[in-house]
């Protein structure tokens, strides 16, 4: 083999090797690019999936809250009519018919509210979360502090949520 021929062969081999390398480099770059894009979109998918579950959970919670307290606004506005009925019933000298009619009306209102979760606030012992003291009396042996002496106006709550406090006279 002449030197020229050898050189030519070497050169050809070099060119071949370089071409091969280029092909491999291009494919490796393509592969790692795709891998990066794959990782990115997979992350986006996982985040979207997690977010979707959060949104569903929040929507369910919100729906339950809305359902639970749905009657709150109307209930609050109906309470003055109930007060009026109770005041009317406290008036002396009503005829039996009128009294009976007022009682029926009051009872049907109370029943309607009850079915929707509205109940009178309990007035056993004074609780600032549920009662408003409109007057205080001096506590003594028979009437320890925080005993409720009188209820001026009933309080109401919707499930655990206060609609309005009871107006009370309390020993303190």
Residues forming the site for a copy of itself (CB under 8 A): 1, 20, 23-24, 27-28, 30-31, 34-35, 37-38, 41-42, 44-45, 48-49, 51-52, 55-56, 59, 62-63, 66-67, 70-71, 73-75, 77-78, 80-81, 84-85, 87-88, 91, 94, 97-98, 101-102, 104-106, 108-109, 111-113, 115-116
Q: Which two tokens stand for residue 112?
A: 């309607």
* Residue 166 neighbours by CB distance under 10 Å: 24
How far apart (Å, rounded) are the C-alpha atoms in residues 40 and 37?
Answer: 5
Please say which residue, 106 or 143, places its beta carbon nearer to a copy of itself: 106
Is residue 116 within 8 A of residue 159, CB to CB? The reply is no
Q: Which of 155, 97, 111, 96 is nearest to 129 (CA)?
A: 155
Please say which residue, 108 or 135, places its beta carbon nearer to a copy of itself: 108
Residues facing residue 132 across a β-bridge: 167
HSE-up of residue 27 (Cα within 13 Å, Cβ side): 6
Minimum distance of a copy of itself from residue 124's CB (angstroms): 27
Minimum distance of a copy of itself from residue 39's CB (angstroms): 10
Please say which residue, 58 or 152, places its beta carbon nearer to a copy of itself: 58
Please say which residue, 99 or 143, places its beta carbon nearer to a copy of itself: 99
In the three-class reduction of DSSP (H, G, I as helix; E, B as strand; rest coil), residue 71 is classed as: coil
Minimum distance of a copy of itself from residue 142's CB (angstroms): 37
């Amino acid at each position: 083999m002449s030197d020229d021929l050898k050189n030519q062969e070497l050169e050809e081999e070099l060119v071949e090797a370089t071409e091969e390398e280029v092909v491999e480099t291009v494919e490796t770059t393509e592969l790692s690019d795709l891998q990066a894009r794959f990782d990115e979109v997979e992350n986006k998918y996982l985040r979207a999936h997690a977010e979707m579950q959060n949104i569903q959970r929040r929507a369910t919670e919100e729906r339950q809250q809305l359902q639970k307290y749905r009657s709150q606004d109307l209930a609050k506005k109906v309470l003055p009519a109930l007060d009026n009925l109770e005041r009317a019933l406290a008036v002396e000298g009503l005829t039996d018919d009128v009294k009976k009619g007022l009682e029926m009306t009051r009872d049907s209102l109370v029943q309607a509210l009850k079915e929707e979760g509205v109940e009178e606030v309990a007035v056993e012992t004074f609780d600032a979360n549920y009662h408003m003291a409109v007057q205080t009396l001096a506590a003594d042996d028979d009437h320890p502090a925080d005993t409720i002496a009188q209820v001026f106006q009933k309080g109401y709550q919707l499930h655990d949520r206060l609609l309005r406090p009871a107006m009370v006279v309390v020993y303190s």
